[in-house]
Amino acid sequence: MRVLEQAAKKAGLAVRVEPGAYELLLGDLSKTECRRIFPKKASADYTKKFQAVIDALELAASPACAMTEEQKGIHLQSLINELPRVAEDDRTGLRIDLAIEHKLTGEARWMSLPHTPAPRATRMERSRLSREDRWQPASPP
């Protein structure tokens, strides 16, 4: 992740590391609403009800939608209110790894990357395995 961050900065792009949903949505929703709409762990019930929100958003954005802006807002809010409550241990909500933005055009990309152990943790694990004779490091050339 740090490699991508540094490369984006060298290219003159604005980079935010692990921004929360509140920050990404520019404060359009409260932090509580962001945690509720974008939990870190989603149950099957949550996923089903969230899909209803997505479907309603797509309908509201389509030219075929006959609802007024006020009706759209009321309908979407009612669906959001039906989302299951966030688990007590899920206080952080969903995060992405990098938000990269072109400063002149405002174009943005959000990235979520697979996580690998830190080098120190990897060295410690190799050391432990080596002591247990389960892993033998290759000899240097």
Burial classification of residue 123, based on how many CB atoms lie within 10 Å of its CB (0-12 exposed, 13-18 middle, 19 or more buried): exposed
In a domain, 102, yes or no: yes
Of 48-52, 113-117, 128-132, 135-139, the poorest mean pLDDT is in 135-139
Q: Give SS3 for 70.
A: helix
32 located within any domain = no
**Higher per-residue pLDDT: 103 or 130:** 103
Does residue 7 form part of some domain? Answer: yes
Cβ contacts of 43 within 8 Å, gap of 6 or more:
84
**Would you tell me how many other CB atoms lie within 10 Å of the CB of residue 44?**
7
CA distance 130 to 127: 5
Residue percentage of the chain with pLDDT more than 70? 72
State the pLDDT at residue 71: 93
The encoded tokens of residue 82 equal: 């039906």
Considering its fold, how many domains does the chain have in total?
1
In a domain, 41, yes or no: no
Q: With pLDDT > 90 as the criterion, what percentage of the chain qualifies?
A: 15
The answer as to whether 53 is a domain residue is no
Q: Looking at the domain assignment, is residue 52 inside a domain?
A: no
Structural domain contains residue 130: yes
Structural domain harbouring 110: 1-19+96-141
pTM above 0.75, yes or no: no
pLDDT at residue number 70: 93
